Amino acid sequence: MRTLCHLAVGTALAFGLNAGAQAAEPPVDVVASGLAHPWAVAFIDQGRFLVTERPGRMRVIGPDGRVGPPLAGVPPVDAVGQGGLLDVVTDSDFAHNRTVHFCFAERGTGGNSTAMASARLSVDATRLENVKVIFRQKPKVASRAHFGCRIAEA
């Protein structure tokens, strides 16, 4: 019984001493600003990267943090509730084929759902070309809930 009491007091003291300790804040480096609900980042070339904005825009961010205009060619995005334009990744052979893959909430008969598309980023990085939807969730659902999507290339 005495050992149990010592264990309980020791545990209480240990947790009590740590209760006042504060975790250090992680460092934050702002590389771009003025984005609406930025969701995902994919590095492309020369220090530039693509960023998706949940309301349905994809932009190129320069190495100096300059935010480019929305890319043309992004398919219609159903940006309601938690849905919108979500993940983006570059193809493993992006340097040669300029292909990007991305997912988004898509409206259709009966509601909306997740879709995934592939496209080619134009040489001047102003538009998506040859956009092809390669996956559509079926059936569509009437929901404003989260349409999560993360892309992993195998």
Q: Who's near 82: CB < 8 A, 6+ residues apart?
A: 144, 145, 146, 147
Half-sphere exposure of 77 (CA within 13 A, CB side): 25
- Per-residue model confidence as pLDDT tens digits over 18-65: 555 678 999 988 889 999 999 999 999 989 999 999 999 999 999 999
Helix (H, G, I), strand (E, B) or coil at 45: coil
Instruction: For residue 96, indicate whether it is catalytic.
Output: no
Which tokens in the block code for residue 89? 């990744």
**Residue 56: CA atoms inside 13 Å, Cβ hemisphere, count?**
13
Q: Which listed residue (6, 37, 96, 146) is catalytic?
A: 146
Query: b/e for 106-134, b at 16 or more Cβ within 10 A?
Result: bbeeeebbbbbbbbbbeeebebbeeeeee
Residues 99-121: pLDDT tens digits? 999 999 999 988 899 999 999 99
Q: What percent of the chain has pLDDT over 70?
A: 85
- Which pLDDT does position 29 carry in this prediction? 87
pTM comes to 0.81
Instruction: Report the C-alpha gap between 59 and 73 in whole angstroms.
Output: 12
* Domains in the chain: ranges and CATH: 34-154 (2.120.10.30)
Closest CA to 49 of 30, 68, 33: 68
> Position of tokens 């969701």?
39
| Distance separating alpha carbons of residues 58 and 52, to the nearest angstrom | 4
Q: Cβ neighbours of residue 29 under 8 Å, at least 6 residues apart?
A: none
